[in-house]
Amino acid sequence: MSQPINVTIWNEYRHEKKNDKVASVYPNGMHAAIAEGLDVAANVKIATLDDPEHGLTEEVLNGTDVLIWWGHVAHDEVRDEIVERVHQRVLKGMGLIVLHSGHFSKIFKKLMGTSCDLKWREADEKERIWVVNPAHPIAEGIGEYFELPQEEMYGEHFDIPQPDELVMVSWFEGGEVFRSGCCYSRGAGKVFYFRPGHETYPTYYNPQVRKVISNAVKWAAPVKRDYPRYGNAKPLETIKGSV
Amino acid sequence: MSQPINVTIWNEYRHEKKNDKVASVYPNGMHAAIAEGLDVAANVKIATLDDPEHGLTEEVLNGTDVLIWWGHVAHDEVRDEIVERVHQRVLKGMGLIVLHSGHFSKIFKKLMGTSCDLKWREADEKERIWVVNPAHPIAEGIGEYFELPQEEMYGEHFDIPQPDELVMVSWFEGGEVFRSGCCYSRGAGKVFYFRPGHETYPTYYNPQVRKVISNAVKWAAPVKRDYPRYGNAKPLETIKGSV
Amino acid sequence: MSQPINVTIWNEYRHEKKNDKVASVYPNGMHAAIAEGLDVAANVKIATLDDPEHGLTEEVLNGTDVLIWWGHVAHDEVRDEIVERVHQRVLKGMGLIVLHSGHFSKIFKKLMGTSCDLKWREADEKERIWVVNPAHPIAEGIGEYFELPQEEMYGEHFDIPQPDELVMVSWFEGGEVFRSGCCYSRGAGKVFYFRPGHETYPTYYNPQVRKVISNAVKWAAPVKRDYPRYGNAKPLETIKGSV
Amino acid sequence: MSQPINVTIWNEYRHEKKNDKVASVYPNGMHAAIAEGLDVAANVKIATLDDPEHGLTEEVLNGTDVLIWWGHVAHDEVRDEIVERVHQRVLKGMGLIVLHSGHFSKIFKKLMGTSCDLKWREADEKERIWVVNPAHPIAEGIGEYFELPQEEMYGEHFDIPQPDELVMVSWFEGGEVFRSGCCYSRGAGKVFYFRPGHETYPTYYNPQVRKVISNAVKWAAPVKRDYPRYGNAKPLETIKGSV
C-alpha cells in the first residue's frame, strides 16, 4: 500500500495533433491532463499509439501495475499482438482503466466478450453522474453526484456484461441514462470502465473526474499473490476408484 | 412459452469415431444422448464439426433459439468465421449452453474474455454437484446435490468472469471444488456453462444431468423483443446548450 | 409452465378510499387495475390491509405463487407476525413483486437488510425507463425505453443491496436517475422491485408497465424442488480423523 | 490509507470461560488470538457480550471503522437495541466481518434478510479453502488453497443472498462444499463473511486465516465521503409540467 503504483497512461494522441479545438483544450495531450490529475503515489509513464510497439513493450507492461487507456479514431491501428500482450497482462494481474471512447477499443471488447456498442450524440449537453454504490472505494470523496456542463452523450443500451459492481450512473440532458462506472475482474486483474472524457471538452481537468480516476488506480492495483496453477493436477486426497 | 424451442446440438463428434471406449458409451454420438435427454418441447437439430460450415450455416443459426456445445480435441479446427457468426447470434439473443470441455472452445473464450483455464485430472473419481441457488430455474427438480460416480476432475481456479448467477458447485473426491453451473448474459443472449460430461463416462444418460440441461434450454431461450438500436441518437429532450 | 400461476395482489387500499383524486384514477382500487393488466395465465386473489390478517392468512400465502405488494401510508399498520409469515413464505419459494412506495414496506426492508431509503419528489414530471439488460425475461416485449408522462420522482442513492440483476434504470426530468427494475433471490424465493406507480397517476393502466409486471410474475414463480435440509448432517464420505 | 484502522473485536466470550477444551486452545479468549493475528496498522479494541451494552456503546461504535464479530451459543442474549445500533453503523459505513457461527447472529441475519441457515457437523474433519477470485484484495498473499486439518463442517445450501463477490469456496472431507468468503455492500458499509473458526480448534492461529482477516479489515474500512441525503429533493432541472 505504501509503495508507489506504477501507472502507464496510454493515449491514442491523434486528435490533439490534428484538431485545433482539441489541441487548445489539451495542449500537451490528454495524457498530460490525466497524469497531472492523479492524486496517488505513482510512477507515471506515458505510451502512445505512434510509439514503437505503441509504447507497450513487454518491459513496459511487465513494469505496469495499472494501465489507463484512451483511444477513439484509431482503434483499428492498434496491432493485434499488442492487444494480446495487454490482455495477457490483465489476466496476470495488471489493472486496466478504460476511459470514454475506449469502450470500442480492441482490448476492452476482448475483455468484455460483447460488442460494447452504445448510443452517442455530440450536442454540448449536460451530464450528471450519480453514485449508486456509496460503499465502493472508487466513490471515495465523490459527492452524491457531479456535473459536467458539456459532454458527449453515451446512452443505454450499453452492450457490456453486467458489471460485478456498478458504481455510477449518468443522467443526460437529452433524455438518456448510462452505466458510467463499471467494475469487473478478469483473471487476476481488475478492469474499470469510466464514461466521461470526450476530447473537445476539458473533462480531465474536472476535480471529481480526477478523483474517480485516482480512486480507480488504487482499486485496480494488482493483488500480490502467486498466479494460479492450471492444467493437469495430482489429487490432494486418495481416490478410491483408482486404488 | 408454449411454442417448441429450436435447439441445435453441436458436437465435435471425433472421440466417438476414433475411441472404442467412447463409442461403446455413446454409440450414436454424445449429441444423440444429449438430444434424447431433453425433456422440453423442442425441435432438435444436430450439427457437427465435419459438416459443411460445421453445420452452423447462417440459416441454421438464424433458426436456432438455443445452441448446445460440446467440443474437446479439435477446438482449433473450428473456423474463426463460424465462431464470429455464433458470437453475433448470441449477442442477438440466441442462448448458448457450453458443456464440459467446451470451456476451452473459441466461442466460450470469446464470450468470457478470459483464458477459461482450470485444473483437470482423469482418475475415475466421484463428483458431487451441490445446488447453491435454490431459487434458480436451472435448479428445478434437482436434489440438494447429485452424484456422478466417475468423472474427470475440473478444479479451481476456473478462470472465468464472476458469473451473474452461480447455481452449482462441485465437490471432487481428490480434494478440489469447482463452479459447475454458471449463468451469464452477453448482449441479448444468455450463456450457461455446465461442467460435467467427460466423453468416457455415461454422464449424459444421468437423469439429473439431463434435467439440468433441459432446464438450461428453457432458461436460455431468447427473450422476444426488438434488438436495441446503437449509434448516433437524436435527443429525446430539448438541450439548452445547443439551442 | 402450462399451469396457471396463483397470484395474490396485496394493496394497502387506503388512498383510494380517502382521496378523491386517487379514487377517480382507480375507482375499484389500484389492485383492480393491476389485476386487469396481468397478461399471464393466473388465478388472481386480492388481499388488503383492512382484511382479517391483512388478507394474508397461512392458507392464502401457502396457496400463493407470487405476491404483488403495494403499500404507502400505512406500512406501520402491517402487523409484524404477518410480515414474518410473508418472509418465511418468500424464503420457501414464493415470488414477491414490490411496487413503488412498497420500498419502505416492512417486508421489503426485512428482505433487503438495508434502509431502502431514497430521494423523492411529487412534481408531475416525466419518467423515462430504460432497459439495461436486454437478455432478461422481465424485459420481454418492452421497448428500448418507455415513458410515463407524469410520475413521482424517486432518485439515487437508493439504499438497497446491489441487485443480482439490474434490468431497468429511470431518467427523470428533474435531473435524477434510479435503479427501477431490480432482481434478487432470497432463499428459495425471488424478489423483484419495480419503481413506478404513484397513486395519483394512471400508471397501472400503462401497457408497458403492465407488461413488466406480467413478465415479473412469470419470472418470480416458484421453482419446483424440495426445500433444502438444514442443520446437523451426517457425512457423505468417510472421515479419516474420526475413524 | 496511512492512518491506522480502528478495529473492534466483538467476542461472545462464553465458551472460553465454561469449556476446558476451548480455554486450553484460547486461554485469553478467541478475541485475543484474533487481535494478535491482525497484520494491519490498527487500533484494536475488545468488546464482549457481558460488558455493559455488550461493549458496543454509541461511543465505541462511532469510533469503530471495522467490527469483527464472533458469537455462537448466546445470539439471543444480544439485545435488539444494540443490534439496531450496529446495523445503523454498518449502513453509515462501518465495515463488519462476521466469523463462523456468527452466521446465525442477529446482526448478520438482519443484514442478509435470509435465514442464514446451513448444514453443520462436528467431526474433526479436514477443510480445504480454495480461492475462486484471484483478483480480490481479500485473497492477497493467500495460496491457491489452504487447509485446516480439523474444523467443523458447514455445508450448502447456505441460505444467504448471492454475494456481490465470492472469494473462497470450501471443500470438506465429508463430502460438502461451502461458500466460505462472501462480500457484500450494505448501505455505505461493507460486510465480509468468513467461515472458519470453530471454538475447539486453533483456527485463529493459522497464518492464512489471519491473513484473510487482516485483508478483510483493510477491504472493509469505510470509504470517506458524505453520507447520501435521502427524502424530499428539489429538482435540479426545470420541470415543464410544473411551470
Chain C residues with beta carbon closer than 8 angstroms to that of A128: 175
pLDDT in the model for residue B86 = 98
Q: How confident is the model at residue A240 (pLDDT cuts 50, 70, 90)?
A: confident
Put simply, the answer to whether C114 touches D187 (Cβ < 8 Å) is yes
Domain boundaries, chain B: 5-220
This model of the complex carries an ipTM of 0.97
Q: What is the pLDDT of residue D243?
A: 45
Cβ separation A134–D165 shorter than 8 A: no
Chains that contact B by 3+ CB pairs under 8 Å? A, C, D
Tell me the pLDDT tens digit for each residue of C130-169.
999 999 999 999 999 999 999 999 999 999 999 999 999 9
Find out whether D159 and D63 touch, Cβ atoms under 8 Å: no
State the cell numbers at D27: 486461554
Distance CA C235, CA B84 (A): 47
Q: Reduced to 3 states, what is the DSSP secondary structure of residue D231?
A: strand
CA distance B155 to chain A (A): 9
Is pLDDT at C243 greater than 50 in this prediction? Answer: no
Which residues, 6 or more positions from C195, have their beta carbon under 8 angstroms from its beta carbon?
C100, C129, C154, C168, C170, C178, C180, C181
**pLDDT class of A243 with cuts at 50, 70, 90:** very low
Q: How confident is the model over D139-169, as pLDDT tens digits? A: 999 999 999 999 999 999 999 999 999 999 9
Helices assigned H by DSSP within C38-163: 58-62, 80-91, 106-112
> pLDDT digit string (tens) for C29-76?
999 999 999 999 999 999 999 999 999 999 999 999 999 999 999 999
* Class of residue B79 by CB neighbours under 10 A (exposed 0-12, middle 13-18, buried 19+): middle
Determine the Cα–Cα distance for residues C161 and A40; give it in Å rounded to an integer. Answer: 30
Contacts of range A22-27, beta carbons closer than 8 Å, 24 or more positions apart = A22/A199, A22/A200, A25/A199, A25/A200, A25/A201, A25/A202, A26/A199, A26/A204
Q: pLDDT of C102-141, one tens digit each?
A: 999 999 999 999 999 999 999 999 999 999 999 999 999 9
- For A6-45, the pLDDT digits (tens) are 999 999 999 999 999 999 999 999 999 999 999 999 999 9
| CA distances (Å), origin C234, targets A114, C237, D155, D156, D174 | 45, 9, 11, 13, 8
Residues B205, B51: Cα–Cα separation, whole Å: 25
- Provide the pLDDT confidence category of residue D74 given band limits of 50, 70 and 90: very high
Q: How far is D159 from chain C (nearest CA, A)?
A: 6
Angle CA C32–C38–C41, to nearest 5: 125
Report the chain A residue with the minimal C-alpha distance to residue C136.
A162
Residue range A88-106: mean pLDDT, rounded: 98
Question: For A26-62, what is the HEC assignment?
Answer: CCCCHHHHHHHCCCCCEEEEEEECCCHHHHCCHHHHH
Q: Cβ contacts of residue B103 below 8 Å, gap of 6+?
A: B116, B118, B154, B158, B160, B193
Residues forming a β-bridge with B194 = B99, B181
Query: Do the Cβ atoms of B58 and B85 come closer than 8 Å?
Result: yes
Q: Which residues pair with C147 in a beta bridge?
A: C128
Q: What's the first-to-final CA gap in chain C, in angstroms?
A: 48
Say if residue C101's pLDDT is above 80: yes
Question: Which pLDDT does position C225 carry in this prediction?
Answer: 96
Q: Which residue has the cell 466417438?
A: B16
Q: Which amino acid is at C188?
A: A
Grid-cell match 434478487, residue found: C184
**C-beta separation of A215 from A183 below 8 A:** no
Q: Which of these, B195, B187, B191, lies nearest to B171 by C-alpha position?
A: B195
Residue D183 phi/psi, 5-degree rounding, is -105, 140
pLDDT grade for B240, boundaries at 50, 70 and 90: confident
pLDDT higher than 70, residue B109: yes
- B241/A162 CB distance under 8 A: no
Point out the residue among B132, B157, B172 whose CB comes nearest to the CB of D156: B132
| H helix count then E strand count, chain D | 7, 10
**CA B197/CA B205 separation, integer angstroms:** 10
Question: pLDDT tens-digit profile of C66-76?
Answer: 999 999 999 99
- Phi/psi for A100 (5° steps) reads 45, -115
pLDDT value at D172 more than 80:
yes
Test the C interface: residue of A118, A156, A160, A238 with most C CBs within 10 Å:
A156
User: Residue D2: phi, psi to the nearest 5?
Assistant: -85, -15
Interface mutation vs chain A, best among D167, D177, D225, most A CBs within 10 Å: D225
Using DSSP, state whether D128 is helix, strand or coil. strand
- Cα D187 to chain centroid distance, Å, stands at 16
Given an 8 Å threshold on Cβ–Cβ distance, is D175 in contact with B134? no
Mean pLDDT of A189-196: 98
Per the listing, cell 468465421 goes with B81
Identify all chain B residues contacting C139, using CB atoms and an 8 Å cutoff: 223, 225
Partners of residue D223 in chain A, C-beta under 8 Å? 134-137, 139-140
Res C240: pLDDT: 87
CB contact under 8 A, C134 and B186: no
Contact at CB, B134 and C187, closer than 8 angstroms = yes
Whether residues C157 and A128 touch (CB distance < 8 A) is answered with no
C83 touches C109 (CB < 8 A): no
Amino acid at B177: V
Assign A2 a pLDDT band (cuts: 50, 70, 90): low
Interface test with B, best of C5, C165, C223, C229 (most B CBs within 10 A): C223
Task: Report residue D240's pLDDT band, with 50, 70 and 90 as the boundaries.
Answer: confident
A203 neighbors A148 (Cβ within 8 angstroms): yes
Distance (Å) of CA C77 to CA B158, C61, C133, C197: 50, 19, 36, 21
A124/A19 Cα distance (integer angstroms): 17
Classified as helix, coil or strand, C88 is helix
Taking only the tens place, the pLDDT of each residue in A205-232 is 999 999 999 999 999 999 999 999 999 9
pLDDT number for residue A199: 98
Q: Which CATH class is domain C5-220?
A: alpha beta
The answer, yes or no, to whether residue A242 has pLDDT greater than 70, is no
Tell me the average pLDDT across C79-89.
98
This prediction's pTM: 0.98
DSSP string of A157-185, one letter each residue = PP-SPPPSEEEEEEEETTS-EEEEEEEEE
